[in-house]
Structure 1
Amino acid sequence: MKFGKSVCILNVGGTKYALPRDVIKDFPLRRVSRLHNCASEKEVLEVCDDYDRERNEFFFDRHSEAFGFIMLYVKYGKLRFVPQMCELSFYNEMIYWGLESSHLEFCCQRRLDDRMSDTYTYFSEEDTKTEEDPRGNDELEQPATGRRGSAKWLERMRRTFEEPTSSIAAQILASVSVIFVIVSMVILCASTLPDWKTAENNSVEEHRYTESLEDPSGIIEAVCIGWFTAECIVRFIVSRDKCEFVRRPLNIIDLLAITPYYVSVLMTVLTGENSQLQRAGVTLRVLRMMRIFWVIKLARHFLGLQTLGLTLRRCYREMVMLLVFICVAMAIFGALAQLLEHGLDLEMGNEDYASIPAACWWVIISMTTVGYGDMYPITMPGRVLGGLCVVSGIVLLALPITFIYHSFVQCYHELKFRSARCTRSLSAEFLN
């Protein structure tokens, strides 16, 4: 800050806070720390609502009590909701000052998640950054004409391949990609049918993998792989950050789905006349079956699969807790079932429960209410234990469901909001 006094006064809704200029520089709130980099009053007014040069006072027309709680977070490191204040309103204040939901205490985060799920509301931090930093947008709009045109073209290409709802071309591209995924899955499933295998074996006695391209199924498979490979290469070229592109889970899945085909071709070329033996080998069958990863590629184009992945990522604590519940129940009920069904009478005992690991299989299918019927208790104590196992499984599995459900609803509306915002921005760009 190249103007004003050494002490800055923040006037938030009528409540004043005096802060030294050095403290302003590294202040935990982004909006306040931006004042230090302002070189003119015009830039100051882009951050605050008004400015008094004589008193070096910055005016913010915001909720004073909410800012008081935010200042308590700056001082003590704990952020909680203001009593008798709407959670969404307080969250809006947090975003304005540069905080995120992760800064809240865990109990308040749960309250915010429930509130946002009930009202189908999502506050976009990207929108806030855009509103708070108009200078950055102006600077991006002032490069050289050639560089600007190239960057704009790359950005349009990136959106076309990464955001299926961004334009008509992106929707067409996504539809074609989905069609290729469906066709490849149909070919993969059909290749395991007995009639398909019999016809294939009778057509050619010695069949090379590379020669399978002469068959319709081989041609379709090669076309699908070619499309997926070209799509992956183009998306890599137009991506902003190449390292980040490689680290994304969906891109890793694309690589796992494409690589087995080329590995199979390479193995066939190297084995030569032993292609029939290699074709029946375990390695090649595993590689061919890895094409099932293509199904996960649909997550790029369907909001439901994206919501599922985001929910699992955010609810990993609840998922771990659920697994711990199941493992503890398996250990307890498995040991008791083995004792009641086999351990008390070694001669006449139920051989299906000869070991605790075998009993654990019975526990897991009972707790999940699957009940294959391959093993079941025959003694009265064992049947009573089985009833307790089933009831306990229902209760244990239901405990984390509420948290996972609320997170799923929040993730769904968050992704839906982003998709709608992307569509609106592209429509506005097209109209302009």
Structure 2
Amino acid sequence: MKFGKSVCIINVGGTKYAFSKDVIKDFPLRRVSRLHNCASESEVLEVCDDYDRERNEFFFDRHSEAFGFIMLYVKYGKLRFVPQMCELSFYNEMIYWGLESSHLEFCCQRRLDDRMSDTYTHFTEEDHKKEDESRAQEKGRVGAKKDAKWLERMRRTFEEPTSSVAAQILASVSVIFVIVSMVILCASTLPDWKTAESNVVEEHRYTDSLEHPSGIIEAVCIGWFTAECIVRFIVSKDKCEFVRRPLNIIDLLAITPYYISVTMTVLTGENSQLQRAGVTLRVLRMMRIFWVIKLARHFLGLQTLGLTLRRCYREMVMLLVFICVAMAIFGALAQLLEHGLDLESGNEDYASIPSACWWVIISMTTVGYGDMYPITVPGRVLGGLCVVSGIVLLALPITFIYHSFVQCYHELKFRSARCSRSLSTEFLN
């Protein structure tokens, strides 16, 4: 902050808070911390509603009580709803200050999920628009405005498939390459395909004929994915954040095995087809199956699934704890009833608790392979209880996960609709 006094006053709905410039710089609330990068009063007024230069006071026309609870979160790390305040209104205040629903305590998250699922309300378009505009302005300060606009358009083309016609075409081509790569990977495990590859390798010992067509297709797909990843890295806003994203890590893991194989071919002088006989390279080559996850960039359903799993990690951990506890109890009882009481004529399938735990997990999930089953009457009674308890335990967290899935789907669908509207405007202009 290149102006004003060393002490800043934040006025939210009439309630004032005093902070130093150093505190403002690293403030947990994104909207407040943006004040530190403002170089003029005009930039300050883009962040807050009014500014008093003499007092160095920044005024925000927002709910003062809600901001008080948000300040409690900044101080103690716990964020809860204001009593007798609409959950959606408080969530709107959270988004304004730069917080998300994941910052809420678990009980409040459930209340917000239920409320949003019931009302199917989306009220954050204006706030998202303001955030996008501010980020574009911050990017414009780094370089020339034309370059920033061009980079932003390139970034949206590669990151947001519905942002423009070019982005839709690029996404379609990428999906085609993913499908072709998966088909080639699956076909390469067929016995007839392996025989044809072996014949080609045998011919290479005496002739300089072209490689197997699968190798050419694989090289083309790898080239496309590599070029796409490099371009997305170049036009990304934050290079460190780009490297940390899960989808980008998966892209790297899927591309790397091919280059390892090529490097070994160059260093050893052996044919890459022969090298694939190695166990390590076969494992690395099979990692290309992760390319299927790249489809999450282009399909709303996969994005919803990933976002739901990220937000419902507590419920998933709770589900795993339920299963582990049930496995320990029923596994020990099954081993005792089927084998422990009669060591000579007992059921050998239940000779140990770990073996019995396999039967427990198969029974609780109602898969029922039939590879092992109880033969005593007490064991069969225990098996029935195991199946019933499995149905109940697995169903308990499903309601929470379902509500979170609905909320995530509505949010992503709303963002997609915004991008579609911007695409229509761009096409008409």
TM-score past 0.5 threshold:
yes
Contact (CA 8 Å) 1:271, 1:278: kept in 2 or not? no
Tell me which of 264, 269, 275 is aligned to 2:272: 275
Q: What whole-Å deviation, never above 9, does each CA across 1:272-331 have from its counterpart, x for those lacking one?
A: 458675332212221221111111111111111111112112222211111111111111
Q: 1:39, 1:144 → 2: CA distance?
A: 11
Is 274-283 or 41-50 further displaced after alignment?
A: 41-50
Question: What's the offset of the Cα at 1:271?
Answer: 3.7
Partner deviation per Cα, 1:3-42 (whole Å, 9 max, x = no partner): 9999999998799999999999999877789999999998
Shift of 1:362: 0.8
Post-superposition Cα deviations, 1:329-355, rounded to whole Å, max 9, x if no partner, equal 111111111111111112211111111
Q: CA distance change for structure 1 residues 276 and 84 in 2, over 3 Å: closer, same or farther?
A: closer
Once residues 209 and 368 of structure 1 are traced to their aligned partners in structure 2, the CA distance between those partners, rounded to angstroms, is: 56
Q: How far, CA to CA, are the matches of 1:392 and 1:430 in structure 2?
A: 57
- Give the CA deviation at 1:241: 1.8
Are 1:209 and 1:275, in contact at CA under 8 Å, matched by a contact in 2?
A: no
Matched, 1:155 2:152: yes
**Paired residues of 2:72 and 2:79 also in contact (CA < 8 A):** yes
Q: 1:299 to 1:132 in 2, by over 3 A?
A: closer
d(CA) in 1 for partners of 2:342 and 2:100?
62
Distance 2:280 2:268 in 1: 13
Q: Which deviates further from its counterpart, 339-348 or 30-39?
A: 30-39
User: What is the count of residue pairs matched by the alignment?
Assistant: 427
Q: 1:25 to 1:171 in 2, by over 3 A?
A: closer
The range that moved more, 316-325 or 124-133, is 124-133
RMSD over aligned Cα atoms: 4.4
Counterpart secondary structure, 2:11: strand
Question: Is the contact between residue 11 and residue 58 of structure 1 (CA under 8 Å) also seen in structure 2?
Answer: yes
Compare 235-244 and 164-173 and name the one that shifted more: 235-244
**Residues 257 and 329 of structure 1, relative CA distance in 2, 3 Å threshold:** same
TM-score scaled by structure 1?
Answer: 0.80
Q: Matches of 2:2 and 2:258 in 1, distance apart?
A: 62
Q: Is the 8 A contact 2:340 2:346 kept in 1?
A: yes
> C-alpha deviations, 1:187-244, integer Å up to 9, x for none?
1111111222233334553658998962222221111111111111111121122222
Superposed CA deviations along residues 91-140 of structure 1, whole A, max 9, x for unmatched, are 224444665545544322321122122223345498258279879xxxxx
8 Å Cα contact 1:210-1:265 kept in structure 2: no
Q: Which runs of 5+ in 1 are unaligned?
A: 136-140
Moved more, 65-74 or 144-153: 65-74
> C-alpha distance in 2, partners of 1:68/1:172?
47
Q: Partner of 1:22 in structure 2?
A: 22
Is it true that 1:230 corresponds to 2:227 in the alignment?
Answer: yes
Q: Deviations over 1:384-403 (max 9, x none)?
A: 11111111111111111122
What is the match of residue 105 of structure 2?
105
- 1:47 is displaced (CA, Å) by 6.8
The aligned residue for residue 64 of structure 2 is 64
Q: Distance in 2 between matches of 1:132 and 1:185?
A: 36
Change (3 A) 1:291 1:39: closer
Which residue number in structure 1 is paired with residue 295 of structure 2? 298
**1:120 touches 1:413 (CA, 8 Å); kept in 2?**
yes
Q: Does 1:250 align with 2:229?
A: no
Partner Cα separation in structure 1 for residue 206 and residue 379 of structure 2: 54
Cα 1:430/1:16, change in 2 over 3 Å = same
Distance 1:208 1:279, change over 3 A: farther
Q: Contact 2:226/2:255 (CA < 8 Å) preserved in 1?
A: yes
TM-superposition CA deviations, 1:240-264 (whole Å, max 9, x none): 2222211111111111111111212
C-alpha deviation, 1:162, in angstroms? 1.0
After the TM superposition, which of the residue ranges 116-125 and 70-79 deviates more from structure 2?
70-79
The answer (yes or no) to whether the contact 1:25–1:33 under 8 Å persists in 2 is yes
Does the 8 Å CA contact 2:156/2:163 hold for their aligned counterparts? yes
**Structure 1 stretch displaced more, 268-277 or 152-161:** 268-277
- What is the CA distance between 1:425 and its match in structure 2? 3.4
> 1:183 offset after TM fit, Å?
0.8
**Greater mean alpha carbon deviation, residues 152-161 or residues 261-270:** 261-270
Change (3 A) 1:416 1:378: same
**Aligned mates of 2:99, 2:142 — CA distance in 1:** 37
Distance 2:377 2:341 in 1: 13
Return 417-426 or 157-166, whichever deviates more: 417-426
> What SS is found at the alignment partner of 1:28?
coil
Contact 1:45 1:51 in 2 (8 A): yes
Check whether the contact 1:31–1:96 (CA below 8 A) recurs between aligned residues: yes
Matched residues in 1 for 2:141 and 2:57: separation?
Answer: 39
Q: The residue matched to 1:280 in structure 2 has which SS?
A: coil
Question: What residue is the counterpart of 2:130 in the other structure?
Answer: 130
For the pair shown, the structure with the greater C-alpha radius of gyration is 1
Task: Single out whichever of 209-218 and 361-370 deviates more from structure 2.
Answer: 209-218
- What percentage of aligned pairs have identical amino acids? 92
**Mapped contact 1:31–1:98 kept (Cα < 8 A):** yes
> Residues 381 and 2 of structure 1: is their aligned pair in 2 closer, same or farther, counting only changes over 3 Å?
closer
Per-residue deviation, 1:64: 6.8
Q: Secondary structure at the match of 2:8?
A: strand
2:8–2:18 CA contact under 8 A, matched in 1: yes
SS of the residue corresponding to residue 39 of structure 2 reads coil
Q: Counterparts of 2:272 and 2:55 in 1: how far apart (Å)?
A: 85
Q: Structure 1 residues 214-223 or 262-271, which shifts more?
A: 262-271
Are residues 352 and 155 of structure 1, via their aligned partners in 2, closer, same or farther at CA, if it must alter by over 3 Å? same
Q: Equivalent residue for 2:411?
A: 414
Question: Aligned-pair distance for 1:361?
Answer: 0.9
Structure 1 segment 16-415 matched on structure 2, within 5 A: 80-96=80-96, 100-101=100-101, 104-124=104-124, 127=127, 130=130, 147-205=144-202, 214-272=211-269, 278-415=275-412
Contact 1:337–1:353 (CA under 8 A) maintained in structure 2 = yes
Query: Is 1:299–1:305's contact at 8 Å kept on the other side of the alignment?
Result: yes
Q: Deviations over 1:68-106 (max 9, x none)?
A: 766777898765434444211232244446655455443
Label 1:219 to 1:95 Cα distance change in 2 as closer, same or farther (>3 A). Answer: closer
Do the aligned residues in 2 keep the contact of 1:78 with 1:104 (CA within 8 Å)? Answer: yes
